[in-house]
Structure 1
Amino acid sequence: MRRCVFLAVLLSLVLSLLKGNNPEASSTLPGTTPATPAVDTASSSTTAPEEDFCSGDPCGKALAKCIALNSSFICQCQYGFYYSNKDCYRGKIFPGVITLKRLYSSSLQIVNSAQYEEVYENITVLFQNAFQGLTGFAQTVIVEIQPLREIRADVSVRVTVINLFTENSTVNNDTVSSAINTATEYLTYVSHYTATTYCAVFLCDDQTTDCEEGQFPKCTCKSSFSKTEWDDRSCSVCSKDCSAEENEYCVKEENGVPTCKCKPDFEKKDQKCVPCPIGYSGENCKDNSELILIIVGTVLGAVILCLVIAISVVSVRARHKQDPEKKSLIKSGYSKKNTFDADDRQTTMFPRVQTTSGHANPGYQPNNPYEMRSANRRRFPERDYDDLYEVSREPEGFRMQSRY
C-alpha cells in the first residue's frame, strides 16, 4: 500500500514538471484561459536562446518567413496573407492598435528578446480568446511596438497589429472591433483598442512616398523620387528630372534618402541650378576664396597704381626743378637766342664765369680767369702757352678762330 502511494506522488510530480515546461501553459495571461491556436504556427522552446530555431526551414520553402524569438519561432507571410500548413494564403485584413499598460523598454524592439516574446504571446492569446465566437480567424501579426508618447519611460505601450481572417469569412470591421472591446473590457493590463487604416500597417516610407489607401495600399513616389524594380514601399533614386543636362546629380544622404543636388560651382535658384556668382565656387557656391583673392588683388592693384602715379609726378617735378646756383650761372652766361656779341662771336651754350682780375678797370676781363695780374700773382701758375686760337661756334659748325 505504501509503495502505491509513493508511486502516485512521484507520478504527480513528474506530470507537474512536464506541465511547467509547456510553452503554451506559460503564455496564459491573468484572467484568460488557455486557447488552442487557430493556425498551424509551429513553436518550440529551449533553455539555450542562442539556438537557431529557424534552421531546417520549419516554415516550409514557400513564401512564409521564419522569425526566431527568444525561445521559439513564428512563421509570417507578406502583407495580406496568413500562414497555415507551411504555406501562405490570402485573407481579410483588419488593422488596429492596442494599448497595453506596461513599462516601455528598448528591448521591445528586438524580436529575439524575452520582453518581445512575452508581449507576442500575450497579444496572441488575447485575440484568440476575443475571436472564439467568430468564424474564420487565421492569425495575428505584430507590425511594430512603440511607446504611447515619445518618452521612453512611458507606462503605456502601443502595439500595431493585423488580424487576418480567411477570405470566406463573413466578419467586418464592426464585428471585429466589438469582439475585441468585449474581451478587453475587464482586463487590467489592456487600456483600449482602436481600428486603424491600411496605410498605418503597410508602412510606406513617409520620406519618399505617399500611401494610397486601400486593402492593399500603394506607395507612390513623391515628385522628386522614383522607384527601381527592387523597391516596394520606398523610392531609392531621384526622379528623371534630376539630370546632368540640368546641372544636377543624385546622391543618398546619411538617412538613405536620395537627394538631387546641384553640381559643384552651381547653386539652386528658382528650382534651377545656375552658375555661381563671380568670386564664389564649390558646393552650393559656399566657397568665397576667389572673392577674397579678387578683393585683395584689386586693393593691391590700386595701391600699385597710386605709387606709380606718385613716382611719376615726383619725377616730373624734379626734372623741371633746377639748382639755384646752376640757374644763376646759366642766366649770366647763356642766351637762348642765337645772336652774336660785340666781337662777332657766337654765344656758347656753356656759361663763362665772370670774374675781375683786380685791375683798376673793373670792366677788364681776361680770357683766363686764373690769369690774375695783381699783387697775388705768385699764388697762381703762369701760362706757358700762347692762346692763338679759340673754338668758335657758327651756324655752319665749329671752327678754329685766331685771336690776332
Structure 2
Amino acid sequence: MSLLFPSSGDTSTTTVTPPATTTIKPTTGDPCNPNPCGENFAKCIALHHSHVCQCPYGFYYSNSTCQAGKIFPGTVTLKQVYSKDIEDVNSTVYLEMFQNITNFFKDAFNLTDFKQTVIVEVNVTTGYARSENSVVNVTVMNIFAENTNETNATVAGKIKTAANKSSYVDQYSSTTYCAVFQCDTRTTDCQESMFPQCTCKSNFSKTDWDDRSCSDCNSDCSAQDNEYCAREGGVPQCHCMINFKREGEKCVSCPVGYSGQNCENNSELILIIVGTIFGAIILSLVVAVSIVSVRAKRSQDPEKKSLIKPKYSSPDTSSETRIFPRVQTTSGHANPGYQPNPYEAHSSNRSHFLDGDYDDVYEISREPEGFRMQRR
C-alpha cells in the first residue's frame, strides 16, 4: 500500500496526514534525519521542531512498527478560528491544532483498543461576508485494534458526547472510507469499502508505482495512431504528434502550409503565398519583356521600308527599281567592257528581291567612250 503524505491544496483546502501515535518531542535541525521511524513502511513527517511517524492506509504506528487496525473515518468542526498558517504542516498553529485534536480523541475513547488518530485533511472555509469567521473542518481516521468490537455507531456516539463537553471541537460526523483514502478524483473513481479501490476513468490507466491515481493514458493512445501521452497539471492527456491534428477521433496530417502542434504553425503557408506572388510578378515581367522585344524586332526604320518592295507586288510589273545600279562590262558580251551585275538576281521572279522606291536608276552605257548615265 502507498503512504498518505501531507499535501497542500488551494487557498481553502489543505491535505495533511500525520498520525498521533508518538509523543511529540521538540527537536532541532531536521527532525527526520536520521529516520526515527524505523524500516517497517513507516514514514517520518516533520512538524514544527518535532516529528510523527506515519504508516500506510489501514495501519497504525506502535513500538517502532506498523500494525494492522480497523478504521473509523469522520470529520470534526473546530470552534476556534485559525489563520491560513494552519495549512502549513510545519507551522506552529498546525502543531497546536494537531495536539488539541489528538488529545480530544484520546479523552473521548479512553479505551485500550484505541491506537491512533490520523489527520487526513484540513478544510478552511471562509465566510462570504467580512464579519463571518472562517470554519475549519478536519477529516480524520481513528484507528482501533484490528479485533476491536467498536462499530461506527458506538465510535460516533462517544465522539459526540465528548464534543458536547469540549471547548475545542464543535461537531462530529461520520464519513466514507473513500473520503480518507483520497483517490485522485481527476483520473479515478473510488469504489467504497473498508479498503477502497481507485478505478481509472476512461482514457486513463494506472502505473505500478501509484494505486490512487491513473497517471498514464490508456492503450488507445499510441504512436501507431499518431498520438502520444503527456501529463498536464498532473493529469495525463493524449495528444496528436507534431504535424498532426485531431479530426473527430483520429489524428490526421496537417494540410499543405501548416505544421507543428495541432497544425497551428502557418509559416509554410505564408512562404507559399509570398513565393506564388513573387513568381507571378517575375513571370509577368518576363512576358512583358518578351512582348516588347518581339514588337521591337517587327518595327522597322521608315527609310528601310521605303527600300523594300512590298511582298505582294505583282511579279510581272514592268517597272523595276533597284538599290544598286547595274554595272556593264564587255566580258562575254558584244561590248568588250561588259560584266554581269553581281547585284542583279538571276531568278525569274524578281519580286522576291529587294527593290527601292527610288525614281531614278542609273546604268553604265555600253559606249566605249565611257560611262553614261541613263534615266529609266
Report the TM range for the smaller structure's normalisation.
0.7 to 0.9
- Larger relative contact order (CA 8 Å, sep ≥ 6): 2
Contact 1:102 1:155 in 2 (8 A): no
1:51–1:314 Cα change, 3 Å: closer
Separation in 2 of the partners of 1:126 and 1:402? 149
Separation in 2 of the partners of 1:262 and 1:180? 54
Deviation at 1:317, TM superposition (A): 3.9
**Residue in structure 2 matched with residue 238 of structure 1 by the alignment:** 217
2:213 is paired with a residue of what secondary structure?
coil
Instruction: Work out whether 1:395 is the aligned partner of 2:360.
Output: no
Give the counterpart of 1:283 among 247, 250, 261.
261
- The within-5 A match list for 1:218-237 is 218-237=197-216
1:180–1:72 Cα change, 3 Å: same
Contact 1:198 1:213 in 2 (8 A): yes
What is the count of residue pairs matched by the alignment? 323
Separation in 2 of the partners of 1:100 and 1:244? 53
Give the counterpart of 1:42 among 6, 14, 22.
22
More displaced 10-residue stretch of structure 1: 274-283 or 322-331: 322-331
2:344 is paired with a residue of what secondary structure?
strand
**Residue in structure 2 matched with residue 147 of structure 1 by the alignment:** 124
1:147 is paired with a residue of what secondary structure?
strand
Contact 1:280 1:289 in 2 (8 A): yes
1:82–1:102 Cα change, 3 Å: same
Deviation at 1:198, TM superposition (A): 1.3
5+ residue gaps, structure 2: 1-18, 328-336, 351-362, 367-376
Deviation at 1:124, TM superposition (A): 0.7
1:290–1:216 Cα change, 3 Å: same
**Residue in structure 1 matched with residue 141 of structure 2 by the alignment:** 162
1:276–1:189 Cα change, 3 Å: same
**Residue in structure 1 matched with residue 178 of structure 2 by the alignment:** 199
Instruction: Work out whether 1:271 is the aligned partner of 2:223.
Output: no
**Residue in structure 2 matched with residue 29 of structure 1 by the alignment:** none
Separation in 1 of the partners of 2:338 and 2:86? 131
Query: TM-score, normalised to structure 1's length?
Result: 0.69
Separation in 1 of the partners of 2:346 and 2:70? 132
Contact 1:227 1:234 in 2 (8 A): yes
Contact 1:53 1:72 in 2 (8 A): yes
1:44–1:300 Cα change, 3 Å: closer
**Residue in structure 1 matched with residue 113 of structure 2 by the alignment:** 136
Instruction: Work out whether 1:251 is the aligned partner of 2:209.
Output: no
- The within-5 A match list for 1:167-178 is 167-178=146-157
Larger radius of gyration: 1
Kindly provide the CA deviation profile for residues 127-170 of structure 1, in whole angstroms up to 9, marking residues without a partner as x.
122223x673221101122312499x962222111111223223
More displaced 10-residue stretch of structure 1: 207-216 or 122-131: 207-216
More displaced 10-residue stretch of structure 1: 120-129 or 206-215: 206-215
Give the counterpart of 1:341 among 311, 318, 322.
318
Deviation at 1:312, TM superposition (A): 3.5
Query: TM-score, normalised to structure 2's length?
Result: 0.73
1:320–1:42 Cα change, 3 Å: closer
Contact 2:76 2:171 in 1 (8 A): yes
1:206–1:315 Cα change, 3 Å: same
1:301–1:172 Cα change, 3 Å: same
Please identify which structure carries the higher helix content.
Answer: 1
**Residue in structure 1 matched with residue 55 of structure 2 by the alignment:** 77
Contact 1:40 1:85 in 2 (8 A): no
Give the counterpart of 1:296 among 269, 274, 299.
274
2:207 is paired with a residue of what secondary structure?
coil
Kindly provide the CA deviation profile for residues 312-359 of structure 1, in whole angstroms up to 9, marking residues without a partner as x.
44444444444444444435x8874444636xxxx57x657xxxxxxx
Give the counterpart of 2:187 among 187, 208, 212.
208
